[in-house]
């Protein structure tokens, strides 16, 4: 299970230290990690290094993810950050194609595919986000949108690594209408996505399915089903460390 806190454009150094202080108050992190349950935090770029060192100094078994990366290897790309730089900072993986990047920064399906193969070649675990808008759902176009977003990424991955095995890719279903709105999908929606992935892209893709969109300590239990949901991507609720503890407690309880 990958439990991911996407901090988006939030948090400062002082807030990061206090956040980790609260999480350090629970002594079950190592036991959870041994059960394959792990917390990953995706801070803004400037804090990747600071967050990593704060985690290490507290002996916490958390992973650090980036919220984006450049598809190019290196060179004259002002304002961009490469996969090699992320690796150099001890980052384990990267969120790619988040709907906010698609919506506000014009990220295309092709760009997400390029970034995913670059991440894989750098040994970074990609978390590829996909999901429909409310209008697309109302128009009955969900599967068309999922396929449009997933297919180019799958094709590039399969081409890049032959038969399609290797570093696992996480596929985060984040319906745009559920992000930051307080309106969550229901388990039935996620089951529908899971079986679509299994039928159209195979078990490997279906077994990397995460869900994101207004997940919190109230909604999380109803959205989880073993074998269907392999983790959660949480924005607003995981800005509050006590909520992280409540979610872990509710889902995983005592080790
Ligand atoms: P919220 O949890 O705030 O809806 O955000 C979800 C998200 O975008 C995680 O990547």
Q: What is the mean pLDDT of the chain?
A: 94
Residue 214 Cβ inside 6 Å of ligand 1? The answer reads: yes
Give pLDDT, residue 246. 97
Does the C-beta of 37 come closer than 6 Å to ligand 1?
no
Distance CA 205, CA 128 (A): 11
Q: Return the best residue to mutate from 7, 214, 219, 240 for the ligand 1 pocket (most ligand atoms within 8 A of CB).
A: 214
Q: Band the pLDDT of 254: cuts 50, 70, 90.
A: confident
- Cα separation, 48 vs 89, whole angstroms: 7
Tell me whether residue 136 is one of the annotated catalytic residues.
Answer: no
Q: Which CATH number fits domain 2-252: 1.20.1430.10, 3.50.50.60, 3.40.47.10, 3.20.20.70?
A: 3.20.20.70
Q: Is the pLDDT of residue 65 over 80?
A: yes
Instruction: Determine the distance separating the centroid of ligand 1 and the alpha carbon of 185, expressed in angstroms.
Output: 12
- Tens digit of pLDDT for each residue in 145-154? 999 999 999 9
Q: What is the mean pLDDT of residues 131-136?
A: 95
End-to-end C-alpha distance for the chain, whole angstroms: 14
Mean per-residue pLDDT, 104-128: 95
pLDDT of amino acid 7: 98
Tell me if 67 CB under 6 Å of ligand 1: no
Q: What is the pLDDT of residue 168?
A: 82
**229 Cβ closer than 6 Å to some ligand 1 atom:** no
Residue 100 CA: nearest ligand 1 atom is 8
Which range has the worst mean pLDDT, 36-45, 49-58, 157-166, 212-221? 157-166
**Residue identifier of the C-alpha nearest atom 7 of ligand 1:** 235
Res 183: pLDDT = 82
Question: Looking at residue 255, what is its pLDDT?
Answer: 65
Q: What does the pLDDT read at residue 218?
A: 94
Confidence category of residue 162, pLDDT binned at 50, 70, 90: low
Q: Where are the domains of the chain?
A: 2-252
Whether the per-residue pLDDT at 165 is higher than 60: the answer is: no
Q: Is the CB of 235 under 6 A from ligand 1?
A: yes
| pLDDT tens digits for range 201-250 | 999 899 999 999 999 999 999 999 999 999 999 999 999 999 999 999 99
Separation of 76 CA from ligand 1 center, angstroms?
32
98 given a catalytic annotation: yes
User: Is 180's C-beta closer than 6 angstroms to any atom of ligand 1?
Assistant: yes
Residue 233 confidence (pLDDT): 97
Closest ligand 1 atom number to CA of residue 181? 4
pLDDT for 174-189, tens place per residue?
999 998 888 878 899 9
pLDDT > 90: what percent of the chain?
Answer: 89
């Amino acid at each position: 299970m990958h439990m991911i806190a996407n901090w988006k454009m939030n948090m400062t150094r002082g807030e990061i230290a206090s956040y980790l202080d609260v999480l350090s108050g629970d002594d079950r992190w190592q036991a959870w990690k041994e059960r394959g349950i792990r917390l990953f935090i995706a801070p803004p770029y400037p804090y990747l290094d600071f967050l990593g060192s704060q985690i290490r100094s507290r002996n916490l078994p958390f992973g650090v993810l980036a919220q984006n990366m450049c598809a190019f290897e290196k060179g004259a790309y002002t304002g961009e950050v490469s996969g090699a730089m992320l690796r150099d900072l001890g980052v384990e993986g990267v969120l790619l194609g988040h709907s906010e990047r698609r919506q506000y920064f014009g990220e295309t399906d092709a760009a997400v595919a390029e970034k995913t193969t670059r991440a894989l070649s750098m040994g970074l675990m990609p978390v590829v986000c996909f999901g429909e808008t409310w209008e697309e759902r109302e128009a009955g176009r969900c599967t068309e949108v999922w396929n449009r977003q997933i297919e180019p990424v799958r094709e590039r991955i399969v081409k890049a690594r032959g038969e399609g095995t290797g570093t696992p890719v996480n596929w985060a279903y984040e319906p745009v209408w559920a992000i930051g709105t307080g309106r969550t999908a229901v388990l039935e929606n996620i089951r529908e996505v899971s079986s679509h992935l299994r039928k159209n892209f195979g078990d490997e893709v279906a077994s990397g399915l995460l869900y994101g969109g207004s997940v919190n300590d109230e909604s999380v239990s109803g959205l989880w089903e073993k074998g269907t949901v392999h983790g959660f991507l949480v924005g607003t609720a995981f800005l509050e460390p006590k909520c992280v503890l409540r979610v872990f407690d509710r889902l995983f309880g005592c080790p």
